[in-house]
Structure 1
Amino acid sequence: MSPVRRLTMAMMSNSFSLKHGLSLWCPQTPSLNRANPSLTSIKFRSFQRCYAAFANENREYVIVGGGNAAGYAARTFVEHGMADGRLSIVTKEAYAPYERPALTKAYLFPPDKKPARLPGFHTCVGSGGERQTPEWYKEKGIEMFYEDPVENIDIEKQTLVTNSGKLLKYGTLIIATGAAASRFPEKIGGNLPGVHYIRDVADADSLVSSLEKARKVVVVGGGYIGMEVAAAAVGWKLDTTIIFPEDHLLQRLFTPSLARRYEELYQKNGVKFLKCVSIKNLEAGSNGRVSAVKLGDGSTVEADTVIIGIGAKPAVSPFEKVGLNADVGGIQVDGQFRTSIPGIFAIGDVAAFPLKIYNRMTRVEHVDHARRSAQHCVKALLSAQTYTYDYLPYFYSRVFEYEGSPRKVWWQFYGDNVGDTVEIGNFDPKIATFWIEDGRLKGVLVESGSPEEFELLPKLARSQPLVDKAKLQNASSVEEALDIARASLQFEAAV
Structure 2
Amino acid sequence: MSSVRTFMLTLSLPRKHGLSLLSPQSSSIGFRSFRRSYVAASSSAFANENREFVIVGGGNAAGYAARTFVEHDMANGRLCIVSKEAYAPYERPALTKGYLFPLDKKPARLPGFHTCVGSGGERQTPDWYKEKGIEMFYEDPVTGIDIEKQTLRTNSGKQLKYGSLIIATGCTASRFPDKIGGNLSGVHYVRDVADADSLISSLEKARKVVVVGGGYIGMEIAAAAVGWKLDTTIIFPEKHLLPRLFTPSLSKRYEELYQENGVKFLKGASIKNLEAGSGGRIAAVKLEDGSAIEADTVIIGIGAKPAVGPFERLGLNTNVGGIQVDGQFRTSAPGIFAIGDVAAFPLKMYDRVARVEHVDHARRSAQHCIKALLSAQTRMYDYLPYFYSRVFEYEGSPRKVWWQFYGDNVGETVEIGNFDPKIATFWVDSGKLKGVLLESGSTEEFELLPKLARSRPSVDKAKLQNASSVEEALNIARTSLQV
TM-score over 0.5 (shorter chain): yes
2-structure distance, mates of 1:260, 1:71: 38
Structure having the higher Rg: 1
Q: Shift in Å at residue 19 of structure 1?
A: 5.7
Q: For residue 64 of structure 1, what is the aligned residue in structure 2?
A: 56
Q: Does residue 1:436 correspond to 2:428, yes or no?
A: yes
Q: For residue 119 of structure 2, what is the aligned residue in structure 1?
A: 127
1-structure distance, mates of 2:47, 2:284: 47
2-structure distance, mates of 1:55, 1:421: 60
Q: Which residues of 2 match residues 29-178 of structure 1 at below 5 A? A: 59-178=51-170
Q: Shift in Å at residue 25 of structure 1?
A: 7.7
Q: Does residue 1:204 correspond to 2:204, yes or no?
A: no
Q: Does residue 1:22 correspond to 2:37, yes or no?
A: yes
Q: Which residues of 2 match residues 314-463 of structure 1 at below 5 A? A: 314-463=306-455
1-structure distance, mates of 2:57, 2:348: 26
Give the counterpart letter for 2:457 in structure 1.
Answer: P
Q: Shift in Å at residue 20 of structure 1?
A: 2.4
2-structure distance, mates of 1:154, 1:352: 22
Q: Shift in Å at residue 175 of structure 1?
A: 0.2
2-structure distance, mates of 1:23, 1:389: 24
SS of 1:454's partner is helix
2-structure distance, mates of 1:439, 1:446: 20
2-structure distance, mates of 1:340, 1:370: 20
In structure 2, stretches of 5+ residues that fail to align are 1-32
Give the counterpart letter for 1:130 in structure 2.
Answer: E
Q: Shift in Å at residue 207 of structure 1?
A: 0.2
Q: TM-score, normalised by structure 1?
A: 0.89
Q: For residue 293 of structure 1, what is the aligned residue in structure 2?
A: 285
1-structure distance, mates of 2:184, 2:268: 24
Q: Does residue 1:279 correspond to 2:271, yes or no?
A: yes
SS of 1:213's partner is coil
Residue by residue, what CA displacement relative to the aligned partner does 1:338-384 show, whole Å, maximum 9, x if unpaired? 00000000000000000001000000000000000000000000011
1-structure distance, mates of 2:48, 2:226: 46
Q: Does residue 1:221 correspond to 2:221, yes or no?
A: no
1-structure distance, mates of 2:440, 2:36: 51
SS of 2:35's partner is helix
Q: For residue 12 of structure 1, what is the aligned residue in structure 2?
A: none
> What is the Cα-based RMSD across aligned positions, in Å?
1.5
1-structure distance, mates of 2:90, 2:421: 32
Q: How many residue pairs are counted as aligned between the two chains? A: 449
Could you say if the C-alpha distance between residues 426 and 55 of structure 1 is closer, same or farther in structure 2, counting changes exceeding 3 Å? farther
Name segments (4+ residues, structure 1) moved above 6 Å.
none
Residue by residue, what CA displacement relative to the aligned partner does 1:104-131 show, whole Å, maximum 9, x if unpaired? 0000000110000000000000000000
2-structure distance, mates of 1:23, 1:359: 33
1-structure distance, mates of 2:465, 2:397: 32
Q: Which residues of 2 match residues 4-23 of structure 1 at below 5 A? A: 20-23=35-38
Q: Shift in Å at residue 169 of structure 1?
A: 1.1
> Percent identity between the aligned chains?
85
Q: Shift in Å at residue 21 of structure 1?
A: 3.5
Q: Does residue 1:477 correspond to 2:477, yes or no?
A: no
Q: For residue 24 of structure 2, what is the aligned residue in structure 1?
A: none
Q: Shift in Å at residue 24 of structure 1?
A: 2.5
SS of 1:265's partner is helix
Q: For residue 263 of structure 1, what is the aligned residue in structure 2?
A: 255
2-structure distance, mates of 1:55, 1:142: 14
1-structure distance, mates of 2:36, 2:228: 57
Q: For residue 42 of structure 1, what is the aligned residue in structure 2?
A: none
Q: For residue 175 of structure 2, what is the aligned residue in structure 1?
A: 183
Higher relative contact order (CA 8 A, sep 6+): 2
More helix by share: 1
SS of 2:368's partner is helix
Give the counterpart letter for 1:382 in structure 2.
Answer: L
Q: Does residue 1:306 correspond to 2:321, yes or no?
A: no
Could you say if the C-alpha distance between residues 113 and 424 of structure 1 is closer, same or farther in structure 2, counting changes exceeding 3 Å? same
Contact 1:108 1:208 in 2 (8 A): yes
Aligned counterpart in structure 1 of residue 185 of structure 2, from 193, 215, 222:
193
Give the counterpart letter for 1:345 in structure 2.
Answer: F
Residue by residue, what CA displacement relative to the aligned partner does 1:393-417 show, whole Å, maximum 9, x if unpaired? 0000000000000000000000000
In structure 1, stretches of 5+ residues that fail to align are 1-17, 27-47
Give the counterpart letter for 1:442 in structure 2.
Answer: K
Contact 1:56 1:169 in 2 (8 A): no
Contact 2:173 2:189 in 1 (8 A): yes
Contact 1:234 1:269 in 2 (8 A): yes
2-structure distance, mates of 1:312, 1:334: 23
Contact 1:222 1:244 in 2 (8 A): yes
Contact 1:56 1:168 in 2 (8 A): no
Give the counterpart letter for 2:432 in structure 1.
Answer: R
Contact 2:388 2:403 in 1 (8 A): yes
2-structure distance, mates of 1:423, 1:23: 54
Contact 2:40 2:51 in 1 (8 A): no
1-structure distance, mates of 2:429, 2:477: 14
1-structure distance, mates of 2:47, 2:207: 48
Q: TM-score, normalised by structure 2?
A: 0.91
Contact 2:40 2:52 in 1 (8 A): no
